[in-house]
Amino acid sequence: MQLPPLAHQLLRAAATMFLATALPVAAEEKVDVATVERIKTEAMQRSQVMEIVSCLTDVYGARLTGSPSTKAASDWAVTTMRSWGLSNVHLEQWNPYDSGLTGLQWGPLNRGWTSEQFAFRAVAPRPFIINALPCAFSPSTQGCVTGPAIRFDVDSFADMKRFAGKLKGAFLLMDHALPTPAHFEPQARRFTDAELDAMAAGQWPQRKSREVVETRYNLVDDATARRWLVNEHVSALLFTAPGDGGTIFEVGKCGIDEIPSVKVSAESYGRIVRILEKNIPVTLELEMQNTFYENPDVFNVIAEIPGTDPRLKDEVVMIGAHLDSWTFGTGATDDAAGVAVMMEAMRIVKALNLQPRRMIRVALWTGHEQGGLGSNAYVQRHLRDWVRHSQGELSSTKPEYDKFSVYFNLDAGTGKIRGIHQQGNVAVGPIFEPWMGPFKDMGMKTTTLSSIGGGDNFAFERVGLPSFGFIQDPIEYNTRTHHTSADVYERIQPEDLRFNAAVLAAFAWQAAQRGDQTGDHSHGDEYHSLA
Ligand SMILES: [Zn+2]
């Protein structure tokens, strides 16, 4: 079986990983500096990347998979990429059950959901507005509902029963109020040179992880308890989350399917709790209208720039990011930023009328937030049957597998690209190092053997295809924007996105042109010289 060029590398990587220092130095990877400079000029001086972000977020955000806004965003992306002259631009429908991931997903597979109306306030002891958002997939309230706030301090189902008969119309405070300490550390940051050097040496910097909400008894997983609550006719369940200054984090599963559920900002939640602690009753009023879409059609967006080399044009270089988002913000840093960079990279290559030897294909995935469903369904359909592969069947690959070159993913927020993860593949270091050359004095200089997890690159990686993600400055990703109500257009760094689009266009171009300078010998031979 003839392996695709970079796949060759990946498969060799495991064998060569511990011999890296003993490897003979390969012929140096050539860089098309002139073209990369043209790419940089187009990316910096005629950028459309922020306009793309604005459409994806302001007009179509949030983009929960299976919702009408995600379909509208997808249609817009198709129209836009067609207007740039890209080829074979289309929506590719996928089936959630084809991902090979059933059981791992987070959130329903077969429902879309949108929130259309939401008004939440206290009416006693005096009126005030409550900063809160509907939990994704919450049912609606029956019109406008009013009732007492009750601290639902329970640690088991048995404990719950002491509230029997007292919960009609009530709003249950399901969590403890959270502290919101001052930020003595800056919320936004870039990687320091020392941190990047440590990554290059194989150490990932220690990051402070996000505060964990101290939950009470976990009702969400107890069907009997949930049924009991439904029969008590409560108005709504209130949850809180880390985040302050009005930002609400959309962490973990929020609410239950049977009862209207709301995530309340730490400040509003704290205010209600502190009033109740003074034995002053609080009366709340909520009106929430949400719509479910059962078994919606779901799509990835695909577009291409055809290859032109008679021998190589069927080989595919892929770039991608996920179009779908969670619901609190407008999905700006997660991941309109990545989608806009990928679309812009395609626009740049097309605008410069570059003629790649291999095909360059972009994929804008959906189903990511439910567990990478769209990308895995794509790989399953086009590249390799994961189930059969995992059972050791060699015949699990599809014809396109042998023509697949490499996949690049971007899904770590708005931050500038500072380097690339080799995903444990030693052999690609000497390839990516020179590709970064034209970007080194702009701050992208690091290769790390370490892997980036959680992205759609995993779908390719798990079936043995070379796929990579980038090192990005954190900016406010973990402190403020990732899955939060602050994930909006204003949190995007325009300079970083322009830079990232240049990097992606250049990497796609270099990958599409590889082998250009090395004469007629086959790619297998070329890569063999590295091993
Ligand atoms: Zn993401």
Q: Does 201 map to a domain?
A: no
* Judgement on whether residues 304 and 406 belong to the same structural domain of the protein: yes
Q: Cβ(494)–Cβ(49) under 8 Å?
A: yes
Q: Give the mean pLDDT of 441-446.
A: 97
Q: How many angstroms does the Cα of residue 334 sit away from the middle of ligand 1?
A: 4
183 in a structural domain: no
56 and 152 inside one domain: no
Whole-angstrom distance, CA of residue 397 vs CA of residue 384: 4
Least confident of 58-62, 154-158, 417-421: 154-158
CATH classification of the domain holding 449: 3.40.630.10
- Summarize the confidence of residues 170-176 as an average pLDDT: 94
CA of 221 to the centre of ligand 1 (A): 26
Which amino acid appears at position 149 of this protein?
A
- Asked, for residue 194, whether it belongs to a domain, the answer is no
Can you tell me the distance from the alpha carbon of 201 to that of 172, in angstroms, rounded to the nearest whole number? 50
Q: Tell me how far the alpha carbon of residue 59 lies from the centroid of ligand 1, in angstroms.
A: 19
Measure 324 CA to ligand 1 centroid, in angstroms. Answer: 8
Q: Where are the beta strands (DSSP E) in 48-159?
A: 87-94, 111-124, 128-129, 132-134, 144-151
Cα(138) to ligand 1 centroid in Å equals 22
H or E element that contains 417? strand 417-421
Q: What is the pLDDT of residue 35?
A: 98
What mean pLDDT is predicted for residues 460-487?
Answer: 95
What local confidence, expressed as pLDDT, does residue 207 receive?
A: 62
Residue with more model confidence, 137 or 13: 137
pLDDT > 90: percent of the chain: 75
**Are 284 and 239 within one domain?**
yes
Judge if 134 and 281 occupy the same domain: yes
| Token digits of residue 461 | 């990686």
Provide the pLDDT confidence category of residue 314 given band limits of 50, 70 and 90. Answer: very high
Least confident range from 128-142, 190-204, 219-233, 466-480: namely 219-233
**pLDDT higher for 369 or 518?**
369
Helices (H), 284-414: 337-351, 373-382, 386-390
DSSP per-residue letters across 438-462: GGGGGT--EEESS---SSTHHHHHT
Verify that 503 and 446 share a domain, yes or no.
yes
Distance 412 CA to ligand 1 centre (A): 7
Q: What integer pLDDT is reported at residue 157 of this predicted model? A: 87
* CA neighbor of 348 nearest in space, from 290, 317, 305: 305
Residues 411 and 333 in one domain: yes
Task: Answer yes or no: is 187 within a domain.
Answer: no
Q: Does residue 192 belong to any structural domain of this protein?
A: no
255 near 135, Cβ under 8 Å? yes
Q: How many CB atoms lie within 10 A of CB 345?
A: 28
Q: How far is ligand 1, taken at its centre, from the CA of residue 23, in Å?
A: 36
Residues 405, 358: contact at Cβ < 8 Å?
yes
Average pLDDT value for residue range 211-240? 81
Distance of CA 529 from the midpoint of ligand 1 (Å): 37
pLDDT score recorded for residue 165: 96
How crowded is residue 409: how many other Cβ atoms within 10 Å of its Cβ?
Answer: 30
pLDDT above 90: residue 213: no
pLDDT score for 312: 96
Confidence of residue 210 (pLDDT cuts 50, 70, 90): low
Q: What pTM value is reported for the model?
A: 0.91
Closest CA to 328 of 249, 412, 241, 240: 249
Task: Decide: 295 and 309 in contact? Cβ < 8 Å.
Answer: no
Top-confidence residue, 282 or 22: 282
135 Cα: distance to centroid of ligand 1 (angstroms): 19
Given 271, 294, 317, the domain boundary residue is 294
Residues 151 and 247 in one domain: yes
Residues 329, 398 within the same domain? yes
Confidence bin at 102 (pLDDT 50/70/90): low
Same domain, 228 and 364: no
CA 353 to centroid of ligand 1, rounded, Å: 31
Residue 17 clears pLDDT 50, i.e. is over it: no
Residues 6+ apart with CB under 8 A from 416: 190, 443, 444, 472, 473, 493, 495, 496, 499, 500
Q: How many CA atoms lie within 13 A of 318 on its CB side?
A: 30
The Å distance, Cα 36 to ligand 1 centre, comes to 28
Mean pLDDT of 173-181: 91
CATH assignment at residue 244: 3.50.30.30
482 CA distance to ligand 1 centroid (A)?
Answer: 8
What confidence tier does 32 reach under pLDDT thresholds 50, 70, 90?
Answer: very high
Distance, CA 24 to ligand 1 centroid (Å)?
A: 38
Average pLDDT over residues 114-126: 97
- Specify the number of domains making up the chain: 2
User: What rounded mean pLDDT belongs to the chain?
Assistant: 88
Q: Do 345 and 510 meet the contact criterion of CB atoms below 8 Å apart?
A: no
Distance 455 CA to ligand 1 centre (A): 7
Q: How many Å lie between the centroid of ligand 1 and the Cα of residue 520?
A: 41
Tell whether 279 and 394 lie within a shared domain.
no
Ligand 1 centroid to Cα of residue 71, in Å, is 18
Element of type H or E holding 409 = strand 404-409
Within this chain, do residues 284 and 309 fall inside the same structural domain, yes or no?
A: no
Range with lowest mean pLDDT among 87-101, 174-188, 234-248: 87-101
Number of helical (H) and strand (E) elements in the chain, helices listed first: 15, 16
The answer on 416 and 363 residing in a single domain is: yes
Give residue 287's identity as a one-letter amino acid code.
Answer: E
Cα of 55 vs centre of ligand 1, distance in Å, is 18
Q: Residue 309 domain-assigned?
A: yes
Residue 202: what are its φ and ψ, rounded to 5°? 95, 10
Residue 287's domain comprises 111-178+213-294
Burial of 310 (0-12, 13-18, 19+ CB in 10 A): exposed
CA 483 – ligand 1 centroid, Å: 9
Beta pairing, strands 283-294 & 111-124: antiparallel
The residue-averaged pLDDT of 393-409 equals 92
Residue 202 lies in a domain: no
Averaged over 361-374, what is the pLDDT? 94
In-domain check, residue 509: yes
* Ligand 1 centroid, distance to 480 Cα (angstroms): 14
In the reported structure, the alpha carbon of residue 249 is separated from the centroid of ligand 1 by a whole-number distance in angstroms of 15
Q: Does residue 4 surpass a pLDDT of 50?
A: no
Cα of 53 vs centre of ligand 1, distance in Å, is 15
Domain boundary among 294, 323, 348: 294
Distance 506 CA to ligand 1 centre (A): 22
Reading the block at residue 109, the tokens are 């597979």
